[in-house]
Structure 1
Amino acid sequence: MKPVRRPPGRGVSLMELMVALSVIAFALLTMIGVYISAVRLMARGEEITTATEVGRRMLETLRSQGFAYIPDGTNIYDGRVPDSRDGALGFPPDPYPMDGRYQLVVVSEKVDDNLKSVTVRIYYDDESNVVLQTYFKP
């Protein structure tokens, strides 16, 4: 028996159609997965950027207050714990202890007589954080 041949230009077989649809479906699912990952990374990037901006604002506020405003010694002000602000000095300044969803931990340390260090750790998503540090001279 001879195999049945189709005349040229008469269409595609069911098997060819199934293979083509499988390739297209695989490509679409891969593109959707990449898109979902990109959206997640973009949201994480926005969180990091906003947290960095909150910390930068804190450091700029401290910079405008000057060297004498920063308390001597090593001090830890944890915005995740209620009432950890130094009431006498009003240190650290707003937006401490938090700015929206971002909780701040401020550590001031006297390095020597003419140098103080301030580290600001901004927490978001309960465990993720961004750390900024600067030094102050009189």
Structure 2
Amino acid sequence: MYAAMTCVPDDDHEVLRLQLMTAGRGLLAAFEAGDDVTMARGRVARVCETALVPRLEEDERCLLQAAQRADTRLLAEAMRAQIRAITAITRELAGPVQPWEAVAATRALYTMLAAYTHHHALLSSALGAPAA
């Protein structure tokens, strides 16, 4: 399982990106082949529901602490907004959407997670520095 302390650099977000990419490629392949995407979409939704969203919920605790520091407040608040957006897309993906919408939502999740992962690394670095 993922580490409880999420303000430190780790590979968890990269692992999540790989899991999402793998499931997303399966979804895209099914869509492009004209196959039923239900099972492939379910795999993407499971990655989101069982790994991605729980990890982001763990990150939220760290972000609340980081928002108390003047030097990390804006980044922490931006990351919390990213979490809300990722969670909303995950909920949409789990609902009754058209196949092309599921593919687009998965691509959006992957792109947003890439940005979030970069911001997480920046925040980890900033929190390692003395408070301003």
TM-score, structure 1 as length reference: 0.28
Instruction: Return the structure number with greater relative CO, CA threshold 8 A, min gap 6.
Output: 2
TM-score, structure 2 as length reference: 0.29
Larger radius of gyration: 1
